[in-house]
Amino acid sequence: MTTREPTPLDRLFLNHIDGTGQLILVRHGQQQWPDPETSVSGDWVDPPLSELGRRQATAVGEYLAGIKIDAVYSSALARAHDTGKAIAGHHDLEPIVRPELREIQFYGDLPDDKRASDILGADVVKATGNRFVKERRWDVYPATESSLSFRRRVAIEIEAAIAGRAGQTVVIACHGGVINIYLAELLGLAVDMFFRPAHASVHRLTFSAERQVVTSLGEVSHLVGDLHTI
């Protein structure tokens, strides 16, 4: 059989190129939301999966069970780690935990036992949210990791996970902000959030030693009925 020479478009999009791999980014299942009336900032950092979130994690694990997966990574936060475990279990794997894949934390530099509104004022918190809607950049939040820092740590961790894995399939169970910031970096977008991934949604990229190419965003066919949430 004769293998045709890759065209410029093939090379651009990594089609018919030897040694390419597949990177699959998965948002965690729905978390158990803290009570907004009684919770403090620290309660929002690492909530577990809700009952629905556990079912979503099961569904995405079954969705990816039919393909060969060589490695599963996750952030250290429970909702992402448990989603990663639901995927990895079908492949006799354990998630490799990368703490730097954690979600950005609003007001993360403020004390965990306080509310941002108690320190900054409710009017500032409201105005900050309004400004985020307009700018779609994390830099609008005071006492929060900068957009540039977030981009750099996420890009380094994801690219470290796929380094040296030519021809393999790698899954990363992570967070909506992480998925957005990495794809925004790849696509050359100035904003930090440009779409809202559903819980337990799947996003695929093809990668080579030099670059990554987005091949699909927002796969949710495995999330039927009440499993499809944002």
pTM of the model: 0.94
With a cut of 50, which residues of the chain have pLDDT below it? 1
Q: What pairs with residue 23 in β-bridges? A: 170, 205
Helices (H), 136-196: 147-162, 176-187
Work out whether the CA dihedral 177, 179, 181, 184 comes out positive or negative.
Answer: negative
Residues 28-58 have pLDDT tens digits of 999 998 888 888 988 888 999 999 999 999 9
For 172, phi and psi rounded to 5 degrees? -125, 115
Note the residue count of the chain: 230
Q: What pairs with residue 49 in β-bridges? A: 31
Helices (H), 173-230: 176-187
Residue 26: C-alpha distances to residues 15, 139, 164 (Å)? 23, 25, 21
Domain range list for the chain: 20-221
Q: What is the reported pLDDT for 145?
A: 96
State the pairing for strand pair 21-27/202-207: antiparallel
Task: Determine whether domain 20-221 maps to CATH 2.40.50.70.
Answer: no
Residues 141-176 have pLDDT tens digits of 999 999 999 999 999 999 999 999 999 999 999 999
Catalytic residues: 28, 103
Work out whether the CA dihedral 144, 147, 152, 155 comes out positive or negative.
Answer: positive
